[in-house]
Chain A
Amino acid sequence: MIVYILLALMFFVGLYGIIAKKNIIKIIVGINIVGYASNLLFILLGYKWDGIAPILTENMSITCFVEKAVDPLPQALVLTSIVIDLAFVAFLAALAIRLFEKYGTFDIDKIRRLKG
C-alpha cells in the first residue's frame, strides 16, 4: 500500500511542476516525472513480490509458473508508453530551444502573444 501512496506523491509532484512552475524547462521535468509515475503504476499492477521472470522452463509446472511469474503484459505496455513519453519530452525540448530563440526567455508568463 505504501508503494501506491508514494506513487501518488510522485504523480502530484510532477503535476505541481506542470501546473505551478513558470519555467518551460521545469515544466518539461514535471512532464517527465508524471510520465514515470504512470509507467510505475503499470509495472506495480503486474508485479508480484518474490516473483520470477515470466519464462517457462522445461522443469517447471504450469501451475507453479502461473503462481510465481510476474505479469509480462504491463511491461510490454510500459515499453510503448516510455517511447511516447520520450517523443513528448524530445519535442518539448526542441520547442523550448526555438521559443528561447524567438522570445529570449523561458518564462511562460512572458511568452504571451496569443490572447482572446
Chain B
Amino acid sequence: MNHLIILPVAIYLGAAFLISLLWRKDDKLAGAAAVSFVFLSAVISIISGIDVFTNGKMLYFAGGWEKPLGIVLMLDPLSSIFLIMTNVIAFFIMLYSTVYMKKYTWAPYFYTLFMIMLAGMNGILISMDIFNIYVFFEIASIASFILVAFGLKAEELEASMKYTVMSFIASTMILFAIALIYGFTGTLNIPAFMSEAAGLSPVHLWFLAGLLLSGFALKTALVPFHSWLPDAHSMAPAPVSAILSGMFVKVVGLYVIIRITTNIFITLPQIRVLLLLFGVLSMLFGGLMAYGQQNIKRLYAYSTISQVGYCAIGLGIGGYLGCLGVLMHFIAHAFSKSLLFLNIGAIEYMTGTTEANQLKGLNDRMPVTTLLGSTGMLGIAGVPPMGNFWSKLIIILAAIKAGYPGIAVLCIIVAVITLGYFLKLQRTVYYNRVENPVKKEAPKMLLFPMGVLTLLVFISGILLVPGIKEKTLDRAVSVMENFSYMDIKIGEKR
C-alpha cells in the first residue's frame, strides 16, 4: 500500500476545511496557507510521479478492501503526467492570486473553493472506478461554477448560469451511462467492466459510449457542445480562467475521454471517428470565431476551443504519433494558455479593462508584461522553439501517415489563422505608439509566476528530446496504445 496516491486529494480537502475554518478573516494568512498546501501536493505528485515512471503503475485499495468490494485507485504514467501538470500549474496560479485577489472581497472563500476544485481534479486522475470519477467530477465542477461567478457582476452570474445548466445536462448523461453500466454488467470498476464489456452487444456499447462521450465532450467544450465556454472562461477572475482553460478542461474532459476511448471501449474503435469529427469542427470554429473578438479574454477562450480541437484530432487519429501529439499538445497548451490568461489578468489589474479597442501601446507602459504575453501568444501559435510547434507538427504528421491528408491541411490552415489573430492582437494592443506613455509595470508577484510559465513554454519541447522522451512521454503513450489490466488481479493486495 502506497499512501502517496491519496495524499494530494486529502491535502486539498483538508486545506479547504482549514482555510474556511481558521483563516477566513485573514486574507494574507489564507493565501500563504493555500500556496503552501498546493506546493506540498505539487512536491508529492512529483515524487509519486518519479516512482511511477521508474516502477510502473501504483495501486491503492481504499480502506484496505480488495478489488471486488473496495474502490481501486491507480496512478499510471498517463495520469501521473496530468497530476504533475495540474499541481505545478495550480501552484503558480496560487502564487499569482495572492496578489490578484486583493481586488476582490472574501479572498479566503476563493482559496477554499479553489482547493475543493483542485481536490476534485486530483481525484479524477487517481480513480479507477466510474462512479468515483463521477463524484470527483462533480466536486470539481460545482466548485468551478461558484468560482466563475465569484465577482458577482451581472455578466459573471449570467455566464455561471449558462455553464451550470449545461453542465447539469452533461452530468445527467454521465449518470445515466453509469446506471446502465451497472445494470448491464453489475460492476463499476473499470478493470472489471472491461472484462464484462466483451459480452455486451454493440448496440449497448454504442449507447454507453455515446452517452459518456457526449457528457464529457460537453465539459471539454468540443464544438457541438461548446457554447458555455467562451462566456464562462472570459467572465471568471483571471486565476480561475487560467486554471479552467489551462487544466480543468483537460483533466475533467480530455483525460476522461482519453480513458474512455483508449482504455475502456477498446472493442469499439469506431468511436474515434466521432472524436475526429468533433475535433475538426472545434478547431475550425474556435479559430474562426477568435478572429473577430474584441474582448481579449473571449478571444483566448475561443482559442482554447480551437486548440483542444487539435487534441481531439490527435486522439481520433490514434496510433503512436497521434497519442504522442495529444500529450505534447496538452502539455504545451496548458502552460501557454494559463500564461496568457494570467497575463491578461495582470493587464486588467493595472488598467481595468480587457477590451482590445481600449488598450493601446502596452509595450511602452508595461514592457515586461508585454514581453511575456507575446511569448505566450507565439507559443500557442506554434512558432518553432516552443512546445506547441512540435506537437502540432506531430499531429499533422500523424494525420498524413494515417491517411487523412485533408485533416492535415486543415490543421495547417488553422495554425496560420491562429498566428494571424495573435499577430493582429499584438499589433493593436501591444506594439503601437501612444503619446506620453506612463510607465506602470505590474507588481513583481504577478510577474514572477508568469515568468516561470514562460520559461516552461520555452522548454516544454525538451520532453521530445530522445532519451527524455523514452522515460516520460513514451510510457504514457504505451498506456494509451495497449493498456492491460492483467496485472490487477482480482483480490490481489499490495
Name A residues whose Cβ lies closer than 8 Å to a Cβ of B.
18, 24, 27, 31, 34-35, 38, 41-42, 45, 73-74, 77, 80-81, 84, 87-88, 91-92, 95-96, 98-99, 102-103, 108, 111-114, 116
A77 surroundings in chain B (CB, below 8 A): 131, 178, 182
Considering only CB atoms, which chain A residue lies closest to B169 in the complex?
Answer: A18
Fill in one digit per residue for B285-318: 1 if any A CB lies within 8 Å of its CB, else 0.
0000100110000100000000000000000000
A113 surroundings in chain B (CB, below 8 A): 154-155, 158
In the bound complex, what is the Cα–Cα distance between A5 and B213 (angstroms)? 25
Considering only CB atoms, which chain A residue lies closest to B167 in the complex?
Answer: A88
Whether A84 pairs with B183 at a CB distance below 8 angstroms is no
Considering only CB atoms, which chain B residue lies closest to A78 in the complex?
Answer: B179
- Interchain residue pairs A-B with the least CB separation, the first 3: A102-B154, A45-B183, A38-B175
Known contacts A77-B178, A80-B135, A98-B152; 13 further A-B pairs (Cβ under 8 A): A18-B169, A24-B161, A45-B182, A74-B179, A88-B142, A88-B168, A91-B142, A91-B164, A92-B161, A95-B149, A102-B157, A114-B158, A116-B289
Q: Determine chain B's interface SS by DSSP, over half rule.
A: helix
B161 surroundings in chain A (CB, below 8 A): 24, 92, 95-96, 99, 108, 111
B176 surroundings in chain A (CB, below 8 A): 38, 41
Which of A31, A41, A88 lies in contact with B179, CB distance below 8 A?
A: A41
In the bound complex, what is the Cα–Cα distance between A92 and B254 (angstroms)? 26
Q: Determine chain A's interface SS by DSSP, over half rule.
A: helix
In the bound complex, what is the Cα–Cα distance between A115 and B38 (angstroms)? 36
User: What is the CB-to-nearest-CB distance from A19 to chain B, in angstroms, rounded to a whole number?
Assistant: 9
Of the listed residues A31, A74, A88, the one surrounded by the most CB atoms of chain B closer than 10 A to its CB is A88
Taking the complex as formed, is B86 at the interface, i.e. its CB lies under 8 A from any CB of chain A? no
A42 surroundings in chain B (CB, below 8 A): 179, 182
Whether A92 pairs with B158 at a CB distance below 8 angstroms is no
User: What is the CB-to-nearest-CB distance from A106 to chain B, in angstroms, rounded to a whole number?
Assistant: 11
Taking the complex as formed, is B146 at the interface, i.e. its CB lies under 8 A from any CB of chain A? yes
